[in-house]
Structures are given as C-alpha cells and as structure tokens.
Amino acid sequence: MPTKNKFLKRILIWRYKYISERQFVYVLSILVGLLAGLGTAILKNLTFFFHDVLEGKFIKDIHYSLYFIFPIIGLVLVYYIKTKIIKKDIGHGISTTLHAVSKRNGIIEKYKMYASLITAPITVGFGGSAGLQGPAVSTGAALGSYVAQVFHMNTKTRMLLIGCATAGAMSSMFKAPVAAIIFAVEIFSLDLAFASLVPLLLASVSAVMTSYFFFEKDALLGFKLVDAFQSKDIFYYVLLGLGTGVASVYFSKIYFRITNFFKRIKKPIHRLIFGGLAIGVMLYLIPPLYGEGYGLINNLLQGNTLGALKEIPYQVDFTNVWIVITFLLLITIFKAIAMTTTFAAGGVGGIFIPTLVMGSALGNVFAKIINALGGNVSESNFTLIGMTGLMAGVLHAPLTAIFLIAEITGGYDLFVPLMLVAAISFAFTKYFISNSIYTVELAKRGELITHNKDKNVLMMMQINKLIEKNFKVVNPEMTLGEMLKKAVAHSTRNIFPVINKEKQFLGIVLLDDIRSIMFDTEMYDKVTVETVMKSAPEIIFYNDSVAQVMQKFKESDAWNLPVVKDDKYVGFISKSKLLTAYRNKLIEVTA
C-alpha cells in the first residue's frame, strides 16, 4: 500500500508540473473509455461462455425442457453470490448510477466495479430474460467514479468521467460511438459543450477500439441496409409509431405492476422461488424468450423467420404467416413480463436490449400483416424501425434510438422513418408515462437530474449540511429572568427555539419581542417564555428537499427557519447560509 501511494503521488506531482487540468481530463477520459470497454467485453464473453456451454453440451443433446431449469439455477447462483459473497445490494445499473450522480456527487461504491461483472453473465447466460447494457453501464460508471477519486478530481469532472464511462459501455456494446455519446447526454443530462464533448469522444472511441480488439468486426446486431426508404410507406410508419407507443406504455406499465407485486413478497428467497418458477414456465412455453434475444433480432433482420422461431417445440405450420404473426406477438407480449420477473426474482440485468427484442418482433409483425393484406413493405426495415420506436418510448431516449439504429445499419437512408416513428412513439408514451423505467423512482423522490441546472444544484445539496445548531434552546416554563441568564447572555443569535421535555418544537422567541422588558427586573419573575413565544413563520421538515426549503423561505420572507425531525427540534437553517451553499454548489457543478 505505501508503494502504491508513493507511485500515485509521483504521478500527481508530475501531472501538476507538466499537464494542464484539461489535458489530464482528456487522458482520464481515454483511460475510463478503455476500462469501460474492457468491462463490457468481459460481460459479453462470460455471457457467451455460459450460453455456449449450456447450449452445446446440454439443451441440444437432451431436451428443450431444460429451458425450464437453467434460469432457476442461474437465479440461485446469483442469490448466493449476492447474499454470501458481495453482501450488498447491486441494484439496476443505470438507475443506481443516476442516483449516485444526483445525490452522492458521483461517488459510487467500489464493489459495483465487479458486482455486475459476476452476476449479470450468470443471470443472462443461464437464460434470464434480460440484457447486459445496464450492468455494463453500472460497471463502467463505478470504474469512472473510482478513477476520478484516485486522482482527486472535483465533482464536475467526476460526473463527466461517469458520463464518459457510460458512453464507453454503450460504444463497446454496439460499436456505435456516436449513439453512445448521445446516450450519455440524453440519459445523464450532461452538458454538450466543448469541455465535455471532447472527453466523451475520446472515451467512446477508445471503448469501441477495445471492442474491436476483442470481437474484431463481429457486431451484436449485424445488418446492412438493403431496401431503401419509400415515401409511399409513410402512412404505415405512422401506424408503426403509434403501435410502438402503445407497446412502450404496455412495457412500462407491466414493469411497474410486476415490480410492485414482488415488493409485497417480503423474503428474497420467496421472491426467488416464485419468480424462478414463473420464468421457467414462460421459457418452457416460449423458448425464444431465453437469454438476451440477439438471435431472434438478427434472424428477423435477415428475413429468416424460421430461424427466429426454430426453438418453438410445437408441431405447427410456420409457412402459415398468421401462425408466425401469432408467435411473434406472444414474444412481444411476454418479453416484458419475463424480463421484469427476472429482475424481481433477484436477477441482475438491463432493460435496454429487451426493448430491442420486443421492438424487432413488433416491427416484423407490422410488416407481415401489411404484406399479408396486400401491401408491399420491407420486413427488415420495419424490424429495425420497430426497435427504434420501443427504445424511444420505453427509455424516453428518442435521439439515442434514432442514431443507434442509423449507425448499426451503416447508413442514414432510413433517417426520415426513424425520426418519424421515434417522435410519435416518444410523444405518445410521454403523455401516459411521464418518466422512464430508469428514472421513475428518482422522480418520485425528487432526485432526478435533468438539464435544468437550477434544479440540479438544489437537488444535489443536502439539508443536513445546512443546519446550524448554535441556538440556545429554552422551555415554556422558564421565567424571563432564567431565559436572560441561561440563554440570552450566552448566545450570539437573536432567536431562541422553545422546546418541551420531549424536545418537541413548540415555537420561537425573538430578541426583539422581549427587548422592551428585558431590562425591567420586576418582570423577570412575572413573565414566562410561554407568554412571549410565538409560532415560527414556517417549519422545515428534515425530509424536505432543498427546493422545498428554498420555497418556504420565499413564501415566509424569513431569515431563519427551524428544522424538525419526527416532531423533535434539530436546529435552524438560515437564508444566508442556504444561498451561500447554493452558490458554492453551482460553482462546483458547473465550473
């Protein structure tokens, strides 16, 4: 440890001498991008390893019924790792990262650098119906936070490096560096200024180079655009936008309802048993729900419907387009259910890729129905754009959806329908669902970071750091003489909180209220605190947000307001300290 500290100290000294702050941030952004790319590569390789071992050695040789067993085994392994080894909550990757940015100044626990690396590949590799993008972001963000802490970077830079790690994870996962930058800006509300754009670019490029090193030219979504956009299909794309909007609302609603249902099951082991059995049944009946679902997406993009549904065990005629449509609709409906159940049962994964699976199936269904009714549209294009619609709606990230799909197709020929479907789906979903799955809980608690700098600064401030406790308390039974002797004579403040024996807050006494009688010794034994006290103009509760505190000062026009926690007096917050803290936080976050 001493050797490590000496080495780090030498690096910091050398940096202060020879490299400017901005240049050092560029270096760290490259480092963070490489680490995020490496973490994503490990996630993908481990998942593929588990999947290949199970697929190659067991399922194909024995029976598809093992689809029922493997996810349960995976959930049991994850439960054991979480409770016996890690012993801490892992949480959902992007949501927990957003919380760390908004309420913890970008400080992320060290164990999150490896927690998702271990548990997510087991969850997904054993068949859990989830994705890897969330865990990749969680791992990268934790690495970015750690690097910032090691090199003693300020809060603003620490948050920027977390954004760089997020872009790196996205870039490495999909080999889409431009969409990765937009994802970081759109989801984490980063400022797209020159100071942040260059680090994001460096991180995204370094991460994608890491991905190329490990996976060469293989892409998770391998597709080249063949069919050009035709203006005659605009009406169909409008319908697809509405359809993906409806599906996005369904996806979000089913996620919230299943999550709330499992929250009522108190013991984690009971959630595991119930959820594991439910997932097993779904995968037994609809095997394409197994794992992430990239095979389904790629087969549909290539027009290989039989390949996409090859795991279906039923003796049905897949040359009948309506039977194919029925099974694709079942996949669309149950993918959201299987994914949410995987999380609720204790699995670790993300929602990003399941939205792509659901969108691809729904887009393909739209095209097949149109063609079956006499139309002539490109099934691969509708499959792609269906993915865009679901991403825009479910994730509330229309720009990410547009640029990701445009980038992985190798061109922008579908830009018009991409924008049209993304806009319609996003607007429709936003009307019914005000916040995405990532942000709904944070929004409820008033902890969601946005592009509004004023709200962000207020949200990042902590009320416990604003409380002043150097006020002399008095009780209602005190006489004026006792108050002067025990409180006024020893206080530098002109306000005195009144509390009872249980330390409950009753009111205040202002020095101005007793100034006319404080030198009249005849009144010392005649007047009590209860006689001269009055109600506070407003009361701040300990769980109030700083925005609410600011509003109470504005409405009451007071300079000092008492803070109460569980009816007990805690201290006071002064307007001057509040405004000073606001200004300091604003400089810290935006400098």
The secondary structure of the chain in percent helix, strand, coil, rounded to multiples of 5, reads 65, 5, 25
Helix 21-54 vs helix 194-215: crossing angle, to nearest 10: 30
Distance between CA atoms of residues 317 and 368, nearest Å? 16
Between the CA of residue 31 and those of 34, 144, 234, 271, what are the distances in Å?
Answer: 5, 9, 44, 40
For the entire predicted model, the pTM comes to 0.77
Tokens 């996003």 correspond to what residue? 426
Write the burial class of residue 543 (CB in 10 Å: 0-12 exposed, 13-18 middle, 19+ buried).
exposed
More confident residue, 421 or 579: 421
Structure tokens belonging to residue 152 = 């003693």
Between the CA of residue 108 and those of 14, 158, 455, what are the distances in Å?
Answer: 27, 10, 22
Query: Of all residues in the chain, what percent carry a pLDDT higher than 90?
Result: 20
CB atoms within 10 A of CB 210: 22
The pLDDT of residue 217: 52
135-139, 506-510, 513-517: the lowest-pLDDT one = 513-517
pLDDT per residue over 139-173, tens digit each? 988 898 888 888 888 878 888 888 899 999 999 88
Fold equal for 2-215 and 231-449: yes
231-449 classified as CATH 3.30.160.20: no
Distance between CA atoms of residues 56 and 51, nearest Å? 8
Q: How many CA atoms lie within 13 A of 360 on its CB side?
A: 28
The pLDDT of residue 476: 87
66-75, 139-148, 316-325, 435-444: the lowest-pLDDT one = 435-444
The pLDDT of residue 215: 62
Distance between CA atoms of residues 23 and 16, nearest Å? 11
3-state secondary structure 72-124: HHHHHHHHHHHHHHHCCCCCCHHHHHHHHHHHCCCCCCHHHHCHHHHHHHHHH
The pLDDT of residue 435: 78
The pLDDT of residue 411: 56
CATH code that applies to domain 457-590: 3.10.580.10
The pLDDT of residue 410: 64
Write the burial class of residue 224 (CB in 10 Å: 0-12 exposed, 13-18 middle, 19+ buried).
exposed
Parse the chain into domains and list their residue ranges. 2-215, 231-449, 457-590
CATH code that applies to domain 2-215: 1.10.3080.10
Amino acid at 35: L
Per DSSP bridges, beta strands 560-565 and 540-541 are parallel
- Strand pairing partners for 468? 572
Per DSSP bridges, beta strands 505-510 and 568-574 are unpaired
Structure tokens belonging to residue 235 = 């009406």
pLDDT per residue over 60-88, tens digit each? 555 556 677 888 888 899 889 988 888 88
Among left, alpha and beta (phi > 0; psi -120 to 50; other), residue 571 is left
